[in-house]
Amino acid sequence: MCIKLIGVARGSVRELLEDYGDYLRQHGLNTWTANDERTLQTRAYCIKNDDPGEFVDKCRERSDETVANIMLTQIRQMDSMLAKLLRKIEADFIAEGGIKEAMSKARRGNRGY
């Protein structure tokens, strides 16, 4: 079940990524590349700061283009984290099995065989 939910979350994140990309394209605004200095600065800032209030205040001071690109950067980071989590959960599932296997093992252990 957890694997499915993480997949659903990734799908939602990717839809949001497309929405922000569409916004930038429809308004003739630039999209930052992964190696753009502003993208790298955004990543570095987000690593060190996690106060939502401060983040919102800073976004109010910036242009729509900048805010949309900041969101794209964060969404890409979130997608990457979800992908890593999904790979780990899948590996754990393959190695250890799922809830049904764990319940069956617990029942057999309780019964003494």
**Model's pTM, two decimal places?**
0.79
The pLDDT of residue 70 is above 90: yes
The residues spanned by each domain of the chain are 11-111
The 8-class DSSP code of residue 13 comes to: H
Token pair recorded at residue 81: 């984290």
Average pLDDT of the segment spanning 65-72: 96
User: In the chain, where does DSSP find H-type helix?
Assistant: 2-26, 37-48, 52-60, 64-96, 99-111
Report pLDDT for 98. 76
**Residue 40 CB coordination number (10 Å):** 13
pLDDT digits (tens, 9 = 90+) for 32-67: 999 999 999 999 998 898 888 988 998 899 999 999
What does the pLDDT read at residue 107? 84
Q: Is 102's pLDDT higher than 80?
A: no
